[in-house]
């Protein structure tokens, strides 16, 4: 099979059959390349392809083999086009090829379609994440992508936590935070905290991003409400804990998502502490409290996954103290698509 025998179909109104085909490719690709990472379920894939995303829109392509080989799905490419000011120069790629159909030009064909779409949409940077030392990394390196960020992925197994150690961390954290209180919610932030939460979200703009042309994000009350609705619409559960200062300022927060269809594994989203409140151990306090919240309210969750830039030494230290351990590494690559 060569690339001239591969069919490439842009997906506009994604059907259930399209989503099922996409899932088959992603599941085969991830099972081969990332055996330690459960692939998303069919419901997650369908939601990803059909539900609106926050401050972005998506393009998608499905590659199929020739009719004499069954004409089934062999590759997929998804392109997220960011639309908010400060990030509207950026596009993010997800690309998978079924391992049984690799080295036949499918990935290159999909990438060509993606790059053409980026240029048509006036994007200058295309980013993609791939497992370290994987076929995906080799694919990027061969096609003039530049490595811009190294990520360490960590796993916390809740059933293996040392109870005495967790109680000691929690007790110490509580004792060291006069002037702050913890509050939490599920889903959308309470109305009286929305503005303060948006201000705290803007603290993520100084997180380490290496050489990534990531841009900046601006959060306001409406945007944090929209973000929570996007998570709910795709069937996931968003949990948030925040540290609030006596003056009403939200000093920091941490977010966990419980993905639909993957009830055992929680996904860490943002953890951030506002610059004026750093140096007081709030990050450890918040993350420890979230572990207690999960264990008390969601006993079916047995592990939490997160990732940190390898040069984010502070958050890595916090996670290691809690008991997170590295289990894989990924690399962010970036392609300058403004060059013809």
Q: What are the extents of the domains in the chain? A: 3-123, 153-331
Distance, CA of 240 to chain centre:
16
Spatial separation of the C-alpha atoms in residues 10 and 59, rounded to whole Å: 8
Instruction: Provide CATH code, domain 153-331.
Output: 3.40.630.30
Structure tokens at 138: 């080799």
Task: Specify whether domain 3-123 bears CATH 3.40.630.30.
Answer: yes
Handedness of CA 175, 278, 225, 154 (dihedral sign): negative
Output Rg (C-alpha) for the chain, integer angstroms.
21
- Which residues are CB-contacts of 246 (< 8 A; sequence separation ≥ 6)? 179, 180, 181
- Which of these, 238, 240, 241, 227, lies nearest to 260 by C-alpha position? 238
For residue 37, give the nearest of 24, 49, 27 by alpha carbon: 27
Same CATH fold assignment for domains 3-123 and 153-331: yes
Q: Which CA distances in Å does 233 have to 64, 186, 226, 267, 312?
A: 30, 14, 10, 17, 32
| Contacts of residue 213, Cβ cutoff 8 Å, sequence gap at least 6 | 89, 90, 124, 125, 127, 148, 334
pTM: 0.88
8 Å CB contact between 74 and 25: yes
pLDDT in tens, the chain (340 residues): 455 689 999 999 999 999 999 999 999 999 999 988 889 989 889 999 998 888 899 999 999 998 666 679 999 999 999 999 889 999 999 999 999 999 999 999 999 999 999 999 999 999 999 999 999 999 999 999 999 999 999 999 988 877 776 666 666 556 678 899 999 999 999 999 999 999 999 887 777 777 888 788 889 999 999 999 999 998 899 999 999 999 999 999 999 999 987 678 999 999 999 999 999 899 999 999 999 899 889 999 999 999 999 999 999 999 998 889 999 999 999 999 986 5
């Amino acid at each position: 099979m060569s690339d001239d025998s591969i069919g490439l179909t842009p997906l506009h109104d994604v059907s259930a059959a399209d989503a099922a085909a996409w899932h088959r490719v992603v599941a085969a690709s991830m099972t081969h390349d990332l055996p330690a990472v459960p692939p998303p379920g069919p419901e997650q894939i369908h939601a990803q392809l059909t539900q609106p995303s926050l401050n972005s829109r998506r393009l998608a392509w499905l590659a199929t083999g020739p009719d004499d080989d069954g004409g089934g799905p062999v590759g997929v490419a998804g392109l997220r086009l960011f639309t908010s000011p400060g990030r509207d120069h950026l596009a993010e790629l997800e690309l998978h090829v079924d391992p049984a159909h690799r080295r036949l030009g499918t990935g290159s064909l999909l990438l060509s379609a993606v790059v053409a779409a980026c240029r048509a949409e006036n994007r200058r940077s295309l980013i993609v994440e791939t497992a370290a030392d994987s076929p995906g990394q080799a694919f990027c390196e061969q096609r003039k992508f530049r490595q811009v960020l190294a990520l360490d992925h960590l796993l916390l197994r809740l059933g293996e936590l040392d109870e005495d150690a967790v109680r000691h961390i929690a007790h110490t954290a509580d004792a060291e935070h006069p002037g702050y209180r913890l509050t939490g919610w599920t889903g959308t932030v309470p109305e009286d905290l929305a503005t303060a939460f948006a201000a705290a979200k803007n603290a993520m703009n100084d997180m380490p991003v290496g050489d990534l042309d990531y841009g900046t994000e601006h959060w306001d009350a409406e945007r944090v409400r929209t973000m929570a609705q996007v998570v709910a619409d795709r069937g996931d559960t968003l949990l948030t804990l925040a540290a609030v200062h006596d003056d009403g300022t939200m000093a920091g927060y941490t977010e966990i998502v419980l993905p639909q269809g993957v009830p055992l594994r929680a996904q860490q989203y943002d953890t951030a502490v506002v610059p004026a409140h750093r140096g007081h151990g709030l990050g450890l306090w918040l993350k420890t409290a979230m572990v207690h919240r999960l264990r008390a309210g969601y006993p079916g969750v047995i592990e939490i996954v997160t990732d940190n830039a390898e040069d984010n030494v502070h958050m890595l230290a916090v996670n290691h103290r809690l008991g997170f351990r590295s289990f894989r590494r990924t690399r962010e690559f970036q392609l300058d698509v403004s060059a013809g």
